Amino acid sequence: MRFSISLILLPLALFGEPADWLITARYLVPMDASRRVIEDGAVAVGGSRILAAGSRAEIEKRFSSRHRLDAGDAIIAPGLINAHTHAAMSLFRGIAGDVPLREWLENYIFPAEAKNVTPEFVRWGTKLAALEMMHGGTTTFADMYYFESDVAEATREAGLRGVLGETILKFPAPDFKTPQAALEYTARFIERFRGDPLIVPAVAPHAIYTNTSATLRAARALAARYGAPLLIHVSETERENKDSLAGHGLTPTAYLHSLGVLAGRTLLAHGVWLTDADMELVRQANAGVAHCPSSNLMLASGIAPVTAMLRHGISVGLGTDGPAGSNNDFNMMEEMDLAAKLQKVTVGDPAALKAVDAIAMATVLGARAIGMENEIGSLESGKKADLITIRLTRPHAVPLYDVYRQLVYALKASDVRDVMVNGRFVLRQGRSLTLPEAEVLSNARRLARKVVRQQKFASPAPGLAAQ
Amino acid sequence: MRFSISLILLPLALFGEPADWLITARYLVPMDASRRVIEDGAVAVGGSRILAAGSRAEIEKRFSSRHRLDAGDAIIAPGLINAHTHAAMSLFRGIAGDVPLREWLENYIFPAEAKNVTPEFVRWGTKLAALEMMHGGTTTFADMYYFESDVAEATREAGLRGVLGETILKFPAPDFKTPQAALEYTARFIERFRGDPLIVPAVAPHAIYTNTSATLRAARALAARYGAPLLIHVSETERENKDSLAGHGLTPTAYLHSLGVLAGRTLLAHGVWLTDADMELVRQANAGVAHCPSSNLMLASGIAPVTAMLRHGISVGLGTDGPAGSNNDFNMMEEMDLAAKLQKVTVGDPAALKAVDAIAMATVLGARAIGMENEIGSLESGKKADLITIRLTRPHAVPLYDVYRQLVYALKASDVRDVMVNGRFVLRQGRSLTLPEAEVLSNARRLARKVVRQQKFASPAPGLAAQ
């Protein structure tokens, strides 16, 4: 009798729908519209896409998989989206800081960039950043820097997903001396990388105060020609707002709107000083905002009105910004925690920006902010297989009463164990499968020594080292 | 010739001053008054005390040690001091949160404590907290909870240093039903543990709004009798200040001063709403303040005026507070980072509260805040050997330009590798030598399941689990 039952069940198990990977864990947080938490969850992956996400029982019954990963006492979650950074600045990590913004930029960052930023620097810097990002569960990042083709190649090598834009400035940058040259480079960059499975080429005019209206319009036109996203810093500081009002009679957002720059896929970084009217413009334009809480504190820019933005219906993602004195890391777990806590104290309500909302900002909302909500941000059938596992086994993760609160307020980047991007594991058991860690770190140290040698610091900070 | 030189040098090496431990690493941050960073540093330890700290060359020449630890590419720093927590609440980690303070306390915390807090609960809870604390580099913590003798025994077992006070309340607590009983217990507790190498028994009236003036005076008298420190929550919320002004015509600090409670070793937790006049009273009383940035954000209490307190000459330490919805961890590396960044944005100056000042708060200033500056807080000859090593080898730690900024803005609790308390290693290579991790975690999970079973939550949060 037992034998005959097996004979009946066997073909179902053997000839279930085929999958490449079946990933299981104690909890699954798909971040779909229901915001459900599935106990004993599973995700089936076929090629680069998610076939299904649900309970282990249901997924195991339906699929027959070539490979399996049981993450055990862990959470499966969507890969985190770092919506604003300057990855290659990893090589300037903490080179300056604890100084006012203008001094930081003019005495440290600009001279250091002018002397050091080369394609080689950008490649190793991006790899170092990618290594740190994958260790912390980030699968997609939005980047603005120089030599962006080299950023893209390093990102592909890392196996991460990147929305990448060459920074366009009205003054000479380490690679191009004019905004025209940077725009032309951007066009070639888009031609080269569009359709890439991992790279979304973007157009990235730095800000309104570092570009002419002609360049801003040209950037939008270029983005429109290719359907590419446009990335720009907006209302990061109060001074930017004041200068814009003085110079244009408009807030930075209203100024961009008046130039037609918001007409199309747009990601605004920071938005600390957005007014209610700005938020309405942003919402109407369906633009996204990358909230960068650590950076906004570190540079004393202010605390962004995130709950107000969310109330306006704006898609607000989370970003780390660069690590050269405005963070100093690429740790999205910390950004989630900080984003939630900051809104509570700012609004004066512990119920403001709950844990689940902070995770949404780092996943589904972040995906919407960068215009990729149909591809990434949640674990749902048909989306790209960008997912992570986070262990629940360290002392700081025990006990567990609520999965969302644990994720945001207790778990750390160091709890991320496995990272899959586009159906491929880039990290397993806390080890990178794509980047040679020792080689990346030794090159990072070598390039940093060069930075120290080349740089004559006006006033070296105590402990400044040559490593 | 070579032989004869060896014969001359040999006795020097063999008969250098004896030490039990010689700990070396690439950097030493002693946090002495010079705030120097020593490259290629070393600490010699004899018994429970530091014999000397300095360059490796000088220390190796002077001492002949029985044991050695070369931490390699790492920083040796003083053990971190968590100046305010409720350790055993680890078992309520994240049980509630994202709800207003009163709802949190009345619907979740108080009922959960009334039903669950027993000596067994407190022992396992303290061990879980101690495990997490040592993993994050904390060597000393100031605690206010119930069954504090059990907290003390668990702390001794962990090998951590604790300034421990039984919470005194005017309403029934899980252990004692009256403040008189709690005061009597405190006297016995002090008698039992005074002179202990690790435990500093304290007197801990919860707050002015949870105690009568008679109890507050009796608590001070008890503390004075034994020279024990007094721990109390002060000006945590604006409401506390308003109620105090309405009820006593005085701020909480001025009220305590009027009762004579500040006359003697005192540690004030939070101090979010201290006025300038309060700060002057605190400074004159030489009382310390435990700043709890995460908790103050999480519960929307406010942002404490830390830079103003420091300007007044107040010793401000750092604390995590409890993890039951006001943090939710015991991570002092995160508190340092947050404390620095919060002051920058609050003061509006990126130079406010520099990295080195944040480390001081977690070490020397914290020691002074709890009245132990002659024993702990820096790595100097004669002080207790409470030290940690923090590796510099993970991607987020590379490259390194400035040791202090790296420590505060980039390094994580997970980088802490070795922890010595009172001359004894409690953690080596990221593994606890004193507490059985698996047993602690399984007991924590067991007790948490009991909490869930016993508790009838008014509105269970999504994802509420039975682990």
Mean pLDDT calculated for residue range A197-201: 98
**Residues B355 and B407 sit within 8 Å (Cβ to Cβ):** yes
Report yes or no on B44 lying in a domain: yes
Q: What is the dihedral of CA A206, A212, A216, A218, to 10 degrees?
A: -120
Chain B residues whose CB is inside 8 A of the A239 CB are none
What whole-number distance in Å separates Cα of residue B321 and Cα of residue B86? 6
Same domain, B362 and B245: yes
What whole-number distance in Å separates Cα of residue A399 and Cα of residue A419? 24
Q: Hey, are the CB atoms on A355 and B404 less than 8 Å from each other?
A: no
**Residues B223 and B264 sit within 8 Å (Cβ to Cβ):** yes
Mean pLDDT calculated for residue range A299-311: 97
Mean pLDDT calculated for residue range A41-66: 98
Chain B residues whose CB is inside 8 A of the A27 CB are 463, 465
The amino acid that residue B306 corresponds to is V
Same domain, B67 and B104: no
Q: Which of B347, B369, B391 is a domain's end point?
A: B369
Chain B residues whose CB is inside 8 A of the A128 CB are 395, 398
Same domain, B18 and B163: no
Same domain, B162 and B301: yes
Same domain, A17 and A166: no
CATH number for the domain including A15? 2.30.40.10
* pLDDT for position A104: 82
* pLDDT for position B456: 57
Taking the Cβ of residue A414 and every Cβ of chain B, the question of whether any pair is shorter than 8 Å is answered with yes
* pLDDT for position B5: 46
Domain ranges, residue B394:
2-78+381-430
Report yes or no on B374 lying in a domain: no
Report yes or no on A443 lying in a domain: no
**Residues B464 and B457 sit within 8 Å (Cβ to Cβ):** yes
Q: Which of A369, A392, A419 is a domain's end point?
A: A369
Q: Which of A54-68, A87-101, B15-29, B326-340 is least confident?
A: A87-101
Same domain, B91 and B171: yes
Residue A257 dihedral angles phi and psi, to the nearest 5°: -60, -45
Chain A from 368 to 397: CB within 8 A of any B CB: 393-396
What whole-number distance in Å separates Cα of residue A255 and Cα of residue A266? 14
* pLDDT for position B39: 98
Report yes or no on B442 lying in a domain: no
* pLDDT for position A458: 40
- CA within 13 Å, CB half, A434: 24
Inter-axis angle of helices B213-226 and B252-259, nearest 10: 60
Predicted-complex ipTM score: 0.95
Chain A residues whose CB is inside 8 A of the B406 CB are 93-94, 328
CATH number for the domain including A214? 3.20.20.140
Q: Which of B348, B447, B461 sits opposite A402 (nearest CB)?
A: B461
Encode pLDDT of A332-387 as tens digits. 999 999 999 999 999 999 999 999 999 999 999 999 999 999 999 999 999 999 99
Task: Give the confidence band of A106 by pLDDT, cuts at 50, 70, 90.
Answer: confident
Instruction: Answer whether residue A2 shows pLDDT above 60.
Output: no
Encode pLDDT of A444-459 as tens digits. 999 999 999 987 544 4
Q: Hey, are the CB atoms on A395 and B349 less than 8 Å from each other?
A: no
Report yes or no on A412 lying in a domain: yes
Chain B residues whose CB is inside 8 A of the A393 CB are 441
Same domain, A288 and A389: no
* pLDDT for position A393: 98
Search chain A and give the residue with CA nearest B334.
A334
Chain B from 240 to 259: CB within 8 A of any A CB: none
Instruction: Answer whether residue B280 shows pLDDT above 50.
Output: yes
Instruction: Answer whether residue B462 shows pLDDT above 50.
Output: no
Give Cβ neighbours of residue B364 (< 8 Å, ≥ 6 apart).
B31, B78, B373, B377, B378
End-to-end CA distance of chain B: give it in Å, rounded.
71
Chain A from 89 to 108: CB within 8 A of any B CB: 91-95, 97-101, 104
Report yes or no on B93 lying in a domain: yes
> Which residue, B160, B132, B149, B157, is CA-closest to B202?
B149
Q: How many domains are there within chain A? A: 2
Q: Hey, are the CB atoms on A94 and B402 less than 8 Å from each other?
A: yes
Q: Which of B14-23, B355-364, B418-427 is least confident?
A: B14-23
Chain A from 340 to 369: CB within 8 A of any B CB: 340-342, 344-345, 347-352, 354-356
Q: Which of A339, A369, A399 is a domain's end point?
A: A369
Same domain, A68 and A85: no
Same domain, B223 and B168: yes
User: Length of chain B, please?
Assistant: 467
The mean pLDDT of chain A is 94
The mean pLDDT of chain B is 94
Structure tokens at B58: 């000088």
Same domain, A68 and A109: no
> Which residue, B168, B47, B216, B130, is CA-closest to B444?
B130
> Which residue, A96, A173, A116, is CA-closest to A447?
A116
Mean pLDDT calculated for residue range B212-233: 98
Q: Which of B302, B413, B451 sits opposite A345 (nearest CB)?
A: B302
Structure tokens at B344: 């920058």
* pLDDT for position B466: 38
Q: Which of A98, A294, A462 sits opposite B350 (nearest CB)?
A: A98
Encode pLDDT of B151-209 as tens digits. 999 999 999 999 999 999 999 999 999 999 999 999 999 999 999 999 999 999 999 99
Report yes or no on B467 lying in a domain: no
Same domain, B268 and B180: yes
List, in sequence order, every beta strand (DSSP E) within B71-115: 74-78, 80-85
Report yes or no on A439 lying in a domain: no
Q: Hey, are the CB atoms on A412 and B412 less than 8 Å from each other?
A: yes
Task: Give the confidence band of B102 by pLDDT, cuts at 50, 70, 90.
Answer: confident
Same domain, B186 and B161: yes
Q: Which of A270, A401, A411 is the best substitution to test chain B (most B C-beta atoms within 10 A)?
A: A401
Give Cβ neighbours of residue B304 (< 8 Å, ≥ 6 apart).
B270, B271, B272, B274, B289, B291, B293, B296
Mean pLDDT calculated for residue range A243-251: 98
Q: Which residue has the higher pLDDT, B106 or A394?
A: A394
> Which residue, B218, B202, B322, is CA-closest to B270?
B322
Mean pLDDT calculated for residue range B359-379: 98
